Every structure is written in structure tokens, then in C-alpha cells.
Chains A and B, each alone.
Chain A
Amino acid sequence: MGIIVRDLHKAFGPKVVLDGFSVEARDGETLVVLGGSGSGKSVMLKHLVGLLIPDAGEVEVDGQVVSTLKQEELFELRRKVGYVFQFAALFDSMTLAENVAMGLRRKSDLDEEGIADRVDECLRLVDLEGYGDRAPAELSGGQRKRAGIARAIATRPQYLLYDEPTTGLDPVTRAMIDQLILRMSEELGVTGIVITHDMDSAFRVADRFAMLHNGRCRFHGSPDEIRASEDPVVRGFIEGRPELLEMES
């Protein structure tokens, strides 16, 4: 049923962040959302799981309008969604293995043995085998980020939201995470939204692109379409040419 964002508005005090943003990720599709730093990508993503409430407009996930759900219904929906936080947001009072197990304890019917197996499997998928007993504080930024990914995929959710999953990783690990995102989509049919600044990984994982600019959707289309786009804002962003963006304003 996918994810549909309709005319989303959000302001913090006088600061308007989203000003009528609309986008759609169809069932089984991976949508890459591009946009400058501070353009509101993380804010947009938080609306999809009800961490923020829209000022106007609505978000539909799995056929349900998120902001109208009762608490219990919202938790039901969240069981189907995995969220990778930009800054990992690991529980710092727990080990990595406990972090990854948290979602499983709540969202799955696995017994302790099943949970332990799944935790090992997920840590292996993000190349953190043997790190289960470490505390988050003992890890590098990139390792923490990968642990955050392991925690999000552990429950095998139907929807995965990745907030800059490869930022700060070396090229090899980055390619590995891209592979993982592809596998989630191909093998488990996950509907995904990936926020990224990294154009190589964007083109590796995207079925479609959207670009958030000045609070609105500036571009929405296929990888071929974005390559062919004549829009100076889009070109400036994917080619890293600030002069094109300046022309616009």
C-alpha cells in the first residue's frame, strides 16, 4: 500500500520547514529523498511514524492516516516500520545486542533463543559480528550507525525509513550498506525511503527520486528522469555546483 505524503506543512515557531511537501513511495519501491542540509528531510521522515504531528496535510502509511490513529493503532503501525536514525539513537545504557533485541522483544513472537539468533544475524549483516557485548559509547560513529541499521531491520519490517544510512562510512562499508538496502527491498519486498547526500549510493538503491527544496517537492521521478533533469536546482545538487542553486534564488 506504500507511503503517501500529501501537502505536508510543518513550522517550528516562525520557522517554516515543510510548506506543502508531497511525495509517494509505492509498495515495494525504494524512494530516495534528496535535499540540502537543513531542508527538512529528517523532519519529514519523523512525520511518517508519528514522532511529529503535521500542522496541515497528512501522511498515509500502509493505508492508514498516521495523525488520526489512536495510540494503540499507532503502535500497531510502528510494528511494521523500521526507522534508522540519522545519529543512530542507540540506547546507551544497553549493549549492542540488547539494542538490537529491543524491537524483537516488543514486535515479534520470537523466544529468547530465536531473539539471540536474530540479533547475531543482524549484527553480521552490518559487519558487526562479535560486537554484541559492547556498549554504544565504545563504538566509532560509523559502527554506531550500522548498529542502528541492525536494530531497525531486526524485526523484518515491511517499511524501512533510513535517515542518511551511509553518511560517515568508508566507501567499502557504504557499498555494503547499499547492498543491504537492496536486499531488503528485493528479498523481503520492503518499501523504503532513503535520505542521503551520497549520489553514488542514491543511484545504486533508488527506484525513484524526490527532492525537497524550500519546503516543497522540487522533483519527483525515476533515476533516468533525474539524470536528464534541466532544473538548475536539481542539477546543482546532484552535480555539487552551488552556482546553479544561486542562480535560482
Chain B
Amino acid sequence: MLEINDINVYYGAIHALKGVSVTVEEGQIVTLIGANGAGKSTTLRTISGLLKPKAGQVMFEGKSIAGMAVHNIVKLGISQVPEGRRIFANMSVLENLELGAYTRSDSKGIREDMDKIFSRFSRLAERKPQMAGTLSGGEQQMLAMGRALMSRPRLLLLDEPSMGLAPLLVKEIFSIIKEINASGTTVLLVEQNANMALSIAHKAYVLETGRITLSGTAEELAASEAVRKAYLGG
């Protein structure tokens, strides 16, 4: 479904991705783990078109999308929940979700999807008119995920959805990610919480300072000595 091939991405003179290749098969959860500054967010930002790779390809369903405008990439079916959630704090929960459906015009389908999201994230249902900036961290994460789902993505990119959340909430978020995947959405999940990420993923990649150093099935990586030492605390 998604194939990133040997991409090189720069921030000015900083060489952030040095030949990263990642493949995401349809229907799977693929996780990208790595330490701070490894280039995980940069990878997702490049897929979404916020950054343009200097070299290498990004193929989505056989089509090259590197260099395409961000809004057109969203229209193709790739939606991202960015790091730090980036919800529209000065707008209501409902308006945030409406913006998530910006690329769509089927008002009936939008309403149905919104109902689905409110039943999946019942805490949001009670807070439709509330300003998004006044939601708790967990609620904001749910809103960001609901908002991203409103475009009916076929590929969902999640950038550290567990960041800053209490353990119980992290569990809840991860079980929701599994549900989203089970209902047919392919997921590329970036996480520092390697334990949790590996527990739900099919496939995993380890990113270190701009390079993929390890990859395999989630079980393989969870069992690997190197990963256990560096990311799983033993």
C-alpha cells in the first residue's frame, strides 16, 4: 500500500533522514520505533507531504506522492494525527471533527461517521460544543484521532498517540488503534512506547539517527536482544 524507498530529507543543512525505506502492507499495523530525534516524525511529515524528500520515492498504491500538495495526499486517503495532537484549540469539538471531514461533501456519510466516532469515543459525545483547548490530554488525543478518521483514510499515520498519557489511557488508546485497524484502516504507528507498540503491531522498524537499523515482524523485534536493551528496558 505504502512504499517509502531510500528517502533523504533535510531541514536546511540538517540531514534528518539518510536513506529510509519502509513498506506498509494493506490491512496491517506497522510501527516505527526509535529514540528522540531519530527522525520518526520527519518520516510521517514526509509521507503527508509537509516535507519533500531530496531523494528517494514515496509510493502510495503504486502512485508517486513525493512532492504532491498535502491536501491532495489527504484526498488520496492518507490521514495523519500529528505529534502533540495539534487540535484546533479555539474551536469546538464538533468543529474540529467537521474540519476533519473537510475533503468530503457527502453530508449524510459525514453525519454517520461522526456518530460512529461519538460512539467509539463516548467522552467526546458529551463535549460536542466544548472548546477543544479545554479538553484533557486524553480527550484531546481522542479528538485528534477522531478528526483524522473523519476523512475516511485508508492509511492512518499516528505520531506518538501515547505521549503524556496515564498508563490506563495509553491502554485505551492502543485498544482503539487495534479496533480502527480491525475495521479496515491500515495504520503506521510512530511510538516511543516500544512495548505497547510492538504488542499490537504486525511489523516493526527501528529508526536510529535517520537510518533504519532493524526491521521484522513485531514478535521478532520484541524478542531481539538489541531492541530489548535499547527500547524495552532490559
Answer yes or no: do A and B interact.
Answer: no
> Which B residues fall within an 8 A CB radius of A?
none
